[in-house]
Amino acid sequence: MKLKNPPVNSLSLEMLTELVINLEKLENDKAVRGLVLTSEYPGIFSAGLDLMEMCGRNPAHYAEYWKALQEFWLKLYQSSLVVVAAINGASPAGGCLMSLICDYRILADNPKYTIGLNETLLGIVAPFWFKDTMVNTIGHRASERALQLGLLFPPAEALQVGLVDQVVPEDKLQSTALSVMAQWLAIPDHARQLTKTMMRKPTVDHLVKQRDADIQNFVSFVSRDSIQKSLQMYLQKLRQKKS
């Protein structure tokens, strides 16, 4: 599946909805057992959540957006398919989250392709289920440091901390993803799927129990004047970078 939402594959409401629909279609197709997730635009895997969905909108929109994000996370994290992320570009915040909920992550070796949950750099806070997903991957101490500092790791460091499973030359990314997929598909589906469910259930249950409260938290947090100001300033900084 190639992510295709120009210019930066930001996770807009529309993109999240389409991703969920396409995942459902693939999961209902008996001929499909695995999925490689990559970007149509080498250089950018995904810029994360769409900042335009979180700026200057009304509470009902924020609630709808957050619910769609939760839905996407729940769907992909619990997918019956083997999901391999072939990360062919920068992967900040929600882009990193998306790769963390796959089963295996391969990052192309390019110093510009940084990955991490950098929310604090924007003056915002990664919610508990982003944090849980990261802790499940790299452990508590490394997550605490990475989350507080909003670290974006270049490939060698991402590999060292365990944020990705492999770093390969850019021209080997897709072929490596296919050989990893073959290895995972050699395992009987039912045994692998039950093991995945067992490993991920506590994290899923944590969100499912608090879904509505989490939406309310997001809506009140993002509606604050100070948060709106931080997000607007960050967007302005991104725009100024060009000129």
Catalytic residues: 49, 94, 118-119
The nearest distance, CB 184 to ligand LGGBLMCM, in angstroms, is 27
The secondary structure of residue 186, as a DSSP letter, is T
Phi first, then psi: what are they for 168, rounded to 5°?
-135, 160
Considering only CA atoms, which of 191, 155, 195 is closest in space to residue 173? Answer: 155
| Bridge partners, 91 (sequence order) | 115
Per CB under 6 A, the list member of 94, 98, 104, 133 interacting with ligand LGGBLMCM is: 94
Q: CB 2 → ligand LGGBLMCM: shortest distance, Å?
A: 17
Closest alpha carbon to 116 in 142, 141, 140, 79: 142
Rounded Cα gap, residues 127 and 213, in angstroms? 12
Whether the link from the prior residue into 7 is cis, omega within 30° of 0, is yes
5 near ligand LGGBLMCM, judged by CB under 6 A: no
Based on the shown chain and the rule CB under 6 A, indicate whether residue 238 belongs to the binding site for ligand LGGBLMCM.
yes
In the complex, least distance from residue 18 CB atom to ligand LGGBLMCM, rounded to whole angstroms: 16
Q: In what order do the strands lie in the sheet with 89-92?
A: 43-44, 89-92, 115-116
Number of residues that bind ligand LGGBLMCM (CB under 6 A): 27
Is 50 near ligand LGGBLMCM (CB under 6 A)? yes
Which member of 68, 81, 93, 115 binds ligand LGGBLMCM (CB under 6 A)?
93
149 binds ligand LGGBLMCM (CB under 6 A): no
Burial 13-33 (b: 16+ CB within 10 A, else e): bebbeebbeebeebeeeeeee
Q: Closest CB to ligand LGGBLMCM among 15 and 84?
A: 15
Q: Would you give the binding string for ligand LGGBLMCM spanning residues 111-130, x where CB under 6 A is met?
A: -------xx--x-x-x----
Q: Which of 103, 87, 99 is nearest to 130 (CA)?
A: 99
CA distances from 21 to 149, 153, 165 (A): 35, 31, 28
SS3 category, 198: helix
CB of 228 to ligand LGGBLMCM, least distance (A): 10
Q: What residues pair up with 92 in beta bridges, in sequence order?
A: 116
User: How many residues are present in the chain?
Assistant: 243
- Name the closest residue to ligand LGGBLMCM (Cβ): 48
Task: Give the number of other Cβ atoms within 10 Å of residue 160's Cβ.
Answer: 12
User: Is residue 10 within the footprint of ligand LGGBLMCM (CB under 6 A)?
Assistant: yes
Q: Binding ligand LGGBLMCM by CB under 6 A: which of 26, 47, 146, 177?
A: 47
- Which residues contribute to the site for ligand LGGBLMCM (CB under 6 A)? 7-8, 10, 44, 47-52, 90, 92-94, 118-119, 122, 124, 126, 218, 221-222, 235, 238-239, 241-242
